[in-house]
Amino acid sequence: MNTTLRRLSTVVMAMFVALMVSTTWIQFVTAGSLNEDPRNFRNIYSELGRDRGPIVVGGEPIVTSEPVDDDYKYQRTYSGGDAGAASVYAPLTGFFAVTGTYTGLERYANGYLGGEDDSLWLDRLQNLITGEEAQGSSVELTIDPKVQKAAWDALGDYTGAAVALDPKTGAILAMVSKPSYDPNTIAVHSNDEATTAYNKLLNQNPQVNSVDGSERFSPYGPTVNRGINATYPPGSTFKLLTAAAAVEYEGMSPDTQIPAPDVYQLPGTTGDGGSVQNFGGETCSATGEMTLKDALRISCNTAFLGLANEVGKDGMQQMFEDFGFTESIDIPMSTSIGAYPGLSDTAKDDSDARIALSGMGQGDLRLTPLQVAMMSAAIANDGDLMEPYLIKSVRDSDVELVSQTKPSRYKSPFSSSTADALTEMMIAVVNDGSGQGAQIPGVEVAGKTGTAEDDPRSPTLWFTSFAPANDPQVAVAVVLENEGQSTNESTGGALASPIAAQIMQAAISK
């Protein structure tokens, strides 16, 4: 072989090697990132050109893929195209858009819905052999449609959220977020229309009430699931955690006498700037002392400020962490974490004053409605907190069971005896305390109210509860975002507790 041929052969071999390397790099190394690139419209055509699996609630599909005569082949449809019905579930289902944006279950259960999850390898192999079009799997939710509708109707025109859990399993029975939206407007097969509809929603943060009457808007728009991704000051619902720490760590009982002054001076402070009064300047006890049970029953602020200070920073932070509030949970959507002094970037100040203030649920403290519902669920389940989950089961295109969620314990923040003490106190709150609006005829209810200052916005109102108290079937949290005023007629007990009662009644009468 002469020199010219050798050189030519070397060049040709180098070209083949370069081709093999580049092909291997594209098909194997960068395949994932290329598929996920929003500019890759081949992937969008492939996704929408597939019979995507339905999302099912109570045996009925609430999201389907309907055959259409266009380039995408299938139209993703929510509640049959009914805007009102689709809005009830939109914060859960999310949407799947031709822009490459998908949210909620459409995103976090995409592997199942698109038929590409690792557990579906046999189906994919069969499709490869037979040449049949891939089909997605159906995803059945834990949501009870009766409880979901009760929560939706009860919230009415309020801005806020409601979450209902089965305390014995962690199954999410209802999750409503308002205001909501119609995902059908984003699932259209026009890139421009989908983008316009989505951007419009991003700029629709609802106006909320303010203390001084100034124009204020919620930091959360309709596409945010307020049940798991909006955080609020929990107000007096957090007194449940404070009481739990006092019973678990300090050996207190419902009958333990604790200080309940008219005014509490925060540790390390002087003057009016560090003094805190009870709601409306009321007196909790003429003697300046009362039982822990009575303090929770009437929601005495000064008593719980002192209680948190007695438990101390270590105890309060420990209980917060033992609930798992510093961790995100995949339900499968990722939940937001809570904020507590010293345990988060947004609440770094863990001075004694801040710890004391957290005792009544104020300060830098923030929780999601799901987390507040988890407090009641742990008490209802003898101190064992079950991991919340939204997907009940997955079935392939042949209706064969692919997976089924098994309930699992998430945390055990306190003992069963502490749970019993808290239950006794929460029953008193509903029977003849601040939460009487949650009473259900013939059913013993345990609950706790909350009215959280959120300056310059108006107070955020809460109620959390479980029922029946002797055999809990449902644990609930309701939040009304900035819907309160500094009057007895607009507290968590007055406005939020009746909403919780309607949700609990729907759950226990099913």
3-state secondary structure of 505: helix
Q: Measured between alpha carbons, how far is 204 from 223 in angstroms, rounded to an integer?
A: 9
What the block records as the tokens of 465 is 């509860």
Which is catalytic among the residues 79, 87, 137, 236?
Answer: 236
**Chain CA centroid to CA 37, Å:** 28
124 by Cβ neighbours in 10 Å (0-12 / 13-18 / 19+) ranks as middle
Question: Which of 249-279 are b and which e, b meaning 16 or more Cβ less than 10 Å from the residue's Cβ?
Answer: beebebebebbbbeebbbbeeeeeeeebebb
Q: What angle do CA 196, 202, 207 make, to 5 degrees?
A: 130
8 A C-beta contact, residue 119 and residue 402: yes
| 393 given a catalytic annotation | no
What the block records as the tokens of 6 is 């050798």
Half-sphere exposure of 122 (CA within 13 A, CB side): 7
Amino acid making up residue 387: E
- Which is nearest to 258 in space by CA: 323, 304, 194? 304
**Chain CA centroid to CA 146, Å:** 19
* Other C-beta atoms lying within 10 Å of the C-beta of residue 364: 19
Q: What angle do CA 459, 463, 468 make, to 5 degrees?
A: 175
* Other C-beta atoms lying within 10 Å of the C-beta of residue 486: 13
Amino acid making up residue 480: L
* CA quadruple 407, 410, 416, 422: dihedral sign: negative
What the block records as the tokens of 184 is 């059908």
Q: Which residues are catalytic?
A: 236
